[in-house]
Structure 1
């Protein structure tokens, strides 16, 4: 059986969501997955980015490390994991623009039956992590993905994260994801890979 193919498409400005994405990738790879890490690109002009200290520089650094997500990535994947910082309790426009660009695949039914999962970060306590993750479930349902939350399927979920997906609170970028939050993210990678493998195996058995 071929290795499950996992797309992790995320947006990160200051590194918190990126750190979770990398940990999810580690967990997926531990379970034998082939992983593509992709960073959504800015959709605002340079003059807007210049108003936030370090934004343009950090974006350039991350864009050098990660390609932009494409339609081909989503079609390739057995599972799509989306990550975002909160923006007023909802998904960042940069990641939403990528999701909105999947309309062609949606129309052709090419995303139906793929696994979907989400993760995110916020700057402040009660800053919208859970509402943001829940808001991402809506487009996943429309795209036909099989949504895989975390529940409390691993004991670490009683210490960090949420039942909806891995999360982090950066306290205005003062703290990085801690060991428990990264453990939740690695568990998410393992869980998504396990479910994707089972679904892929079932489909291969059905058609062979």
Structure 2
């Protein structure tokens, strides 16, 4: 049986959420999964971006590294992992715009039964990581994804992260994720790959029966 295919669709401005995305990808690939890393694009004007120092330059650099996520990516995947920085305790508008674009696939039922998971970052210790991750469970349920939380299924979870998904705090300095944060993210990639592979095998078996 072919290995699972995983889409990691994320938004990152300063590179913190990007670092978690890459650690998740490493864990998934270590488990044999094929991974697509995609960065959601800005939805505000160039004028608005210019008011935040460095935003325009950072966006250009990240967009040069990653393609934008598409409907085809979501249909291709056996699992979709969404990543976002916290914006006022909730998902960034950039990632939400991508999720909203999946309405056609939702209507056709093409996302039903795929694995789904989330990760995120925030600037302050109580800046909303958990509320943001939990808020993403709602659209995943509507899309028909089978939600894969982390629980405390790995020793790394007792050092960092949340049971809802990998996370990081940048302390308003774009501080990169810690080694413990990245270990949790790596575990998330392995866990989602395991679940996606099991779901794919079950679907193949059901189709043949």
* 1:27 aligned residue: 27
* 1:136 aligned residue: 136
Instruction: Please tell me whether the aligned partners of residues 37 and 66 of structure 1 are also in contact (alpha carbons under 8 angstroms).
Output: yes
* 2:45 aligned residue: 45
Instruction: Please tell me whether the aligned partners of residues 130 and 162 of structure 1 are also in contact (alpha carbons under 8 angstroms).
Output: yes
* 2:179 aligned residue: 179
Alignment of 1:124 onto 2:124: yes
Q: Take 1:86 and 1:122, find their aligned partners in 2: how far apart are those partners?
A: 5
* 2:58 aligned residue: 58
* 1:160 aligned residue: 160
TM-score normalised according to structure 2 size: 0.98
After the TM superposition, which residues 80-91 of structure 1 pair with which residues of structure 2 at under 5 Å, given as runs?
80-91=80-91
* 1:75 aligned residue: 75
CA shift digits 1:35-94 (9 cap, x unpaired):
000000000000100011110101000000000000000000000000000000000000
Q: Secondary structure at the match of 2:86?
A: strand
TM-score normalised according to structure 1 size: 0.99
Q: Take 1:173 and 1:139, find their aligned partners in 2: how far apart are those partners?
A: 30
Query: Which range moves more in the overlay, 100-109 or 170-179?
Result: 170-179
Over aligned residues, Cα RMSD in angstroms?
Answer: 0.6
Q: Secondary structure at the match of 1:197?
A: helix
* Offset, 1:174: 4.6
Q: Take 2:199 and 2:100, find their aligned partners in 1: how far apart are those partners?
A: 26
After the TM superposition, which residues 144-155 of structure 1 pair with which residues of structure 2 at under 5 Å, given as runs?
144-155=144-155
CA shift digits 1:121-175 (9 cap, x unpaired):
0001100000000000000000000000000000110110000000000001252
Q: Which runs of 5+ in 2 are unaligned?
A: none
Alignment of 1:113 onto 2:113: yes
Query: Which range moves more in the overlay, 172-181 or 161-170?
Result: 172-181
Q: Which runs of 5+ in 1 are unaligned?
A: none
Q: Take 1:174 and 1:72, find their aligned partners in 2: how far apart are those partners?
A: 32
Q: Take 2:178 and 2:125, find their aligned partners in 1: how far apart are those partners?
A: 15
